[in-house]
Chain A
Amino acid sequence: MKFGVVVFPGSNCDTDVKYAIETVLKQPVDYLWHQEGDIAGYDCLVLPGGFSFGDYLRIGAIARFSPIMKSVEQFAGNGGLVVGICNGFQILLEAGLLPGAMKMNDSLQFRCQDAYLKVENNETAFTNKMMPGNILRVPVAHGEGNYYADESMVAELERNGQIVFRYSSSKGAVVPEANPNGSTANIAGVINKEGNVLGMMPHPERCAETLLGGEDGKLIFESIIDWHQGGGKLG
Chain B
Amino acid sequence: MYQAKIKVTLKKGVLDPQGSAVQRSLRALDYGEVTSVRIGKYMEVNLEASNKETAEEQVKEMCQRLLANPVIEDYTYNLVEVKS
Contact = CB atoms under 8 A, between A and B. Distances in A.
B46 interface: no
A182 B17 contact: yes
A106 B15 contact: yes
Interface residues of A, number: 19
A58 B69 contact: yes
A105 interface: yes
Given A103-B14, A103-B17, A65 B72 contact: no
Nearest to B68: A58
B49 interface: no
B34 interface: no
Contacts of B15: 103, 106, 182
Contact of B71 (A65, A100, A108): A100
Interface of A: 57-58, 61-62, 65, 93-94, 100-101, 103-108, 146, 148, 150, 182
Interface of B: 10, 13-15, 17-18, 21, 66-67, 69, 71-72
10 contacts: A57-B66, A93-B71, A101-B71, A101-B72, A103-B10, A103-B14, A103-B17, A106-B17, A108-B18, A150-B13
CB-CB nearest 4 A-B residue pairs = A101-B71, A101-B72, A106-B17, A104-B17
